[in-house]
Structure 1
Amino acid sequence: MDTSIVVPITAHVPTSIAREGLDGASASSPAEREIARLRARVRELSAELVHAQEAACQRVARELHDSVGAELTATHFALAGVETWLPADAPPQCAAALTVAQRSLDAVGEATRHAVAELHAPSLDAGIVGALSQWTGDFAARTQLRTSFVCAADVRLTRLPADAALAIFRVAQEALNNTAKHARASAADVRIEASRRHLTLVVSDDGIGLAPRARTRRGHFGLAGMRARCAAFDGSLQIGASRPDASTHARGTTVRARFAWDAMLAGAACAERLAAGAASFSS
């Protein structure tokens, strides 16, 4: 396992760029207004889907922790009691079967704990960069994949509201989990790119590649969730081969998730205006 994490955050971006488009709307044609209305509706519906998905994740996590976790603990103690009560002249197959059962139970318990951790919303107190830095490191340790995380130096990353940061995190999480499950890769790279208008999350691997039909398969819940999280912030999701012209079979897969800065920072700008208004009123 070789994990490299590079997280530079030093550059300054004028707030006028971050707020561009929020206050400078100009008159437009009816067609443009209709397109803007439809885009706003897409954002609204995508946000509702994302919120429903997060709520479902939290319910499943609670159920796994409270109900399944309790049943696993009870079964563990029951098997321990059986082993204690086993007579001395019991066939050796009995002790062997109990050992296998305990091993399987431990594996299920570990898988359940991991699932609960994945379903719970991460702590974003340290921001999206800190959350992704820690999670990619844990991912590398767990999967033994060489994993790197490189982040653009952009001060706007520190101003992302929680819902925008969570959307970026969940897309990265889903992409890396897909790599671990399906790609047969030896390495995965995560990077955040920042342009004037967009933040782009790029997750690439050196695995066997994704079949063209799988990239657009609408029944794939994970991909649908990733697309919804991008659409909620005026973004898009693209999935393609990392090396489409390579002669080797290990073409790899690259996921590019794009988010619009204006859409992500709209909530932060509104909160700043409300805070400024409250401060001026109190003074």
Structure 2
Amino acid sequence: EPLCRAALDGRPASAEVPTRGRIYFVHTLPIPGENGVMSMGMLMALDITARKRAEEEVQRMNENLERRVVERTTQLEVAYRHLEALSAHLQSVREQEQARVAREIHDELGQDLTGLKFELSRLAQQLRGVPGEVSEKVTKLGGMVDETIHNVRRISSELRPAILDDLGLVDALEWHAEEFEKRTGIKCTVKAARRRIEAGPDLGIALFRICQEALTNVARHARATAARIVLARNRGHVVLEVHDNGAGIPPAVLTGAKSLGLLGMRERTRAFDGELVIRGAPGEGTVVRVKIPCRALSGRPEDAHPGL
């Protein structure tokens, strides 16, 4: 019908015409006579059945491919969410186990060493004024026990700082900053909005471990003389920042195979739907910034992934 109307109007026209199971590309071209009246025309027909069927097959294949890509993408997203949930669960289990081991070391081994120290002190008093090798060895053993008690307390605190459970995140950060400064000689300060942030135990230990790893990187790579920890609440987020005045974190540390500590920081941050940003430039120091939604303040890592 469109071809007929075009021919009657004296216009060229083209159309795909199906007939008897075939498809033709038809083109009509009116030819005017001497007086301008259309007296004849030209019609060309090309069998395009094979091409159309090939196009339809390609279309079906594309649609099938798109559907499979969508299905596979959905499967990968579900698998990724499960992996994130599993990672968060493993982090939680690891922290619980470390807390249990820390308690046992502190309570059982610590008590035994304290008892041993007491007995050695009594023995030293009994041997007071008695010259000889035995008295010297008792005194030496007392010093060794004191050092062992100190090491037990240090190991127990590194496994799970009791101050974090007893007094909260801010006090734990201040304690860790003091210990870091004593151990490394790098001045470390803490600025925290104490009254405005009450992180639950899971988020508290996550932020503490992130800060711990960030300061470890400062000691290892930064060649810094000062570090600063900032904990604040800002626009619906709790924000932790660790600054240093060192050389700036090398790109190889961010992307290298040995950057497992940074990977752990990212996993802990993602467990609470948070964001981790690390900025550094040569000679300008490094800033590690973690931003966690406030809805996660009292939640567990698993709660960030409902349904898993």
Tell me which interval the TM-score lies in, with the shorter structure as reference length. Answer: 0.5 to 0.7
What is the aligned counterpart of 1:43 among 84, 95, 104? 84
Question: Which structure carries more relative contact order (alpha carbon 8 Å, separation 6+)?
Answer: 1
**Residue 48 of structure 1: how far off its partner (Å):** 1.0
> Pairwise CA RMSD of aligned residues?
4.2
Partner of 1:15: none
Partner of 1:66: 107
Matched, 1:80 2:121: yes
Partner of 1:201: 240
Give me the whole-angstrom Cα distance separating, in 2, the residues matched to 1:261 and 1:37: 25
- Conservation of the 8 A alpha-carbon contact between 1:171 and 1:226: yes
What is the aligned counterpart of 1:168 among 207, 213, 218? 207
Matched, 1:136 2:173: yes
CA offset digits 1:63-97 (Å, max 9, x no partner): 21133213312331342244234374533x65555
Matched, 1:231 2:264: no
Partner of 1:109: 149
What is the aligned counterpart of 1:254 among 281, 287, 292? 287
Larger radius of gyration: 2
Partner of 1:6: none
CA offset digits 1:245-282 (Å, max 9, x no partner): 32xxxx644333343556x26959xx9xxxxxxxxxxx
TM-score, normalization: structure 2?
Answer: 0.55
The farther-off stretch of 175-184 and 109-118 is 175-184
TM-score, normalization: structure 1?
Answer: 0.59
Are the structure 2 counterparts of residues 133 and 79 from structure 1 closer, same or farther at C-alpha, using a change threshold of 3 Å?
same
Matched, 1:149 2:186: no
Give me the whole-angstrom Cα distance separating, in 1, the residues matched to 2:268 and 2:228: 21
Partner of 1:274: none
Give me the whole-angstrom Cα distance separating, in 2, the residues matched to 1:208 and 1:100: 44
**Residue 179 of structure 1: how far off its partner (Å):** 4.5
**Residue 49 of structure 1: how far off its partner (Å):** 1.6
Give me the whole-angstrom Cα distance separating, in 1, the residues matched to 2:248 and 2:137: 41
Secondary structure of the corresponding residue to residue 288 of structure 2:
strand
Are the structure 2 counterparts of residues 216 and 256 from structure 1 closer, same or farther at C-alpha, using a change threshold of 3 Å?
farther
Q: Which amino acid aligns with 2:93?
A: A
**Residue 173 of structure 1: how far off its partner (Å):** 3.7
- Conservation of the 8 A alpha-carbon contact between 2:240 and 2:290: yes
CA offset digits 1:228-257 (Å, max 9, x no partner): 31121233545554xx232xxxx6443333
Q: Which stretches in structure 2 are left out of the alignment for 5+ residues?
A: 1-69, 304-308
Partner of 1:55: 96
CA offset digits 1:143-191 (Å, max 9, x no partner): 35340324599x7x55x55433432233224434665687664422112
Residue-pair matches, total: 226
Seq. identity, %: 31
Q: Which stretches in structure 1 are left out of the alignment for 5+ residues?
A: 1-28, 272-283
Give me the whole-angstrom Cα distance separating, in 2, the residues matched to 1:215 and 1:94: 56
Secondary structure of the corresponding residue to residue 227 of structure 2:
strand
Q: Which amino acid aligns with 2:265?
A: M
